[in-house]
Amino acid sequence: MMRAGIQGRGELTRSLTAILIVTGMVVTSAAARAAEEKGQRKPEVVPNEYVVKLRQPIGDVSLQSASALIGAPIVERISEDMVLVRKKGDFHATDMMRSLAKNSAVALVEPNYIYRMSRVPNDPDLFHLWGLKNRAALDKDGTRGLANVDVGAEKAWDITTGSKDILVAVIDTGVAHTHPDLAVNMWVNQLEKNGQAGVDDDGNGYVDDVHGYDFANDDADPMDDNGHGTHVAGTIGATGNDGKGLVGVNWDVSIMGVKFLSGEGGGTLANAIKCINYATMMGVDVMNNSWGGGGYSDILKDTIQRARRAGIVFVAAAGNSAVNNDTAKEYPASYEVDNIISVAAVDNRGDLAYFSNYGASSVHVAAPGHNILSSIPTGQDVYSGTSMAAPHVTGVVALMLAHNPDLSYRDIKERLIRTSKPIAALKGRVVSGGLVDAFYAMVDIRPPADPNDPTVWSEKREEIVETAHPYPDSHEQTWTIRVPGAKRVSAHFKKFDTERRYDKLQFFNALGESLGTWSGQREESFSPIADGDTLELKFSSDTSVSGHGFEIDYIVFE
């Protein structure tokens, strides 16, 4: 997930926090204060812009009159009771928010947060969809996958391959609705398609919205000018059984493009709200939200709650900062709204992806998100991120609804958690402790225990392997752990702490095949499993910023 990171814009020298009216007093929201106390990064905002929720709808009142009412220039309506204010000049942002909040016509005021798409870029040389069916092949990094570490799509397709009656909103950078793998599965607003050009034929307030709407550019063509949204859409529903290209989790589905992220990958709170409101109004069944950033927003939370009241499932990427969302919140995934399903990413061996956020109580499930092949406007490409994990879950939700349209959002969320395949590396990392599985979710059966769980192996041996603490810069070191006669070996890490993305530990088996790469911080956990009697570790650091390193205290084997 590419998160907000632009600093020093405007006069934002102090932390911007959401302002809330409580019994006539102006206070900062508890969530915002907590985030500030924890030292979390300041959210990125559009300078001098504020989203204002009014106590009463403004109806047909002109923007000029409404501006006079709240004492600030309104530049556009977001909804009947919500407006966007833009105020330029020499003033402090927090003071401006307090001034707005004191107005009796104002219920809430927040910065116009900026959100970023949730993708970690990668190279286009992976040509198999391991997330749907893991054939234990080598991926683009040379890592051999593990069979059954996938979303169980092939068994699920024996039950259903999806339905055009299920409507999925991809809230993102848009969708390339002419893509050969997506065109057949794009939602079509028949009243607009068969109506008059330039006329709001269906009376929903938007003209010519045939495949959705582009709120980033305020037009009716949500064409993807980035690639991210099309990649997400391909995982959810690239057309199946057509003899060409890719296949999504659903062979048949209706995909609505709802764009608020620009070609550069950024979007605003105001436009995110418009997207969710539009998709809610148009009666979607599930929304995919592979984006995040900004700060805590009561207004965005209220908008998601409106979708919840409409019975809509809200799937959200957990984030790509390799942090624990139980303490370091990631929005919108971390809002405590019960239709939200927060998704972590795993690699093709079932290990938590090095970039993925996690949370034993706040991240609900995991799904494939590393080296994922899917559609982009110009063809196909391989991306990584919780952005790629979320659409696997959205696709599974769509399959569940195709099989049983009467499932409520509560039923769906509870089933996904209850029927996730147990994965040892996900114990204590996500609520379900495992990987989403479409087949088990549809038949509502608990899957068997993880066959690759080293915590249940009976053979154990003390083995002290560790770096210097801290480890030196520009350093390389290799260790070999061997247990003669063993069939499988795994090492227990008491601690792991390196500079994320730059200082890495790679794992290999006796054949030299990669078993995965760790970077960043990890809580106590077991290494990837090496088949055979040998586990090799190769550590490397760059020229700066050294961490504690790692400590192995024992190994297990069988």
- Catalytic residue numbers read 172, 228, 387
SS3 of the chain: helix, strand, coil, percent, to 5: 20, 30, 50
Distance (Å, rounded) from C-alpha 258 to C-alpha 168? 10
Distance (Å, rounded) from C-alpha 450 to C-alpha 50? 49
Distance (Å, rounded) from C-alpha 431 to C-alpha 448? 17
Contact 336, 314 (CB under 8 A): no
Phi/psi for 155 (5° steps) reads -70, -35
Question: How crowded is residue 456: how many other Cβ atoms within 10 Å of its Cβ?
Answer: 10
448 prior amide bond cis, ω within 30: no
Indicate the DSSP class of residue 47.
E
Whose structure tokens read 């390193």?
A: 549
Indicate the DSSP class of residue 317.
E
Indicate the DSSP class of residue 143.
B
Distance of CA 418 to the CA centre of its chain: 20
* DSSP labels, 247-285: --S-SEEEEEEEE-S-TTSEEEHHHHHHHHHHHHHTT-S
Residue type at 102?
A: K
Residue 202, SS3 per DSSP: coil
HEC profile of 101-121: HCCCCEEEEEEEEEEEECCEC
Listed in sequence order, the residues at least 6 apart from 47 whose beta carbon sits closer than 8 Å to its beta carbon are 9, 10, 11, 12, 93
Residue 389, SS3 per DSSP: helix
Distance (Å, rounded) from C-alpha 199 to C-alpha 181? 30
Please state, in angstroms and as integers, the Cα–Cα distance from residue 163 to each residue in 62, 112, 231, 235, 287, following that order.
44, 37, 20, 15, 16
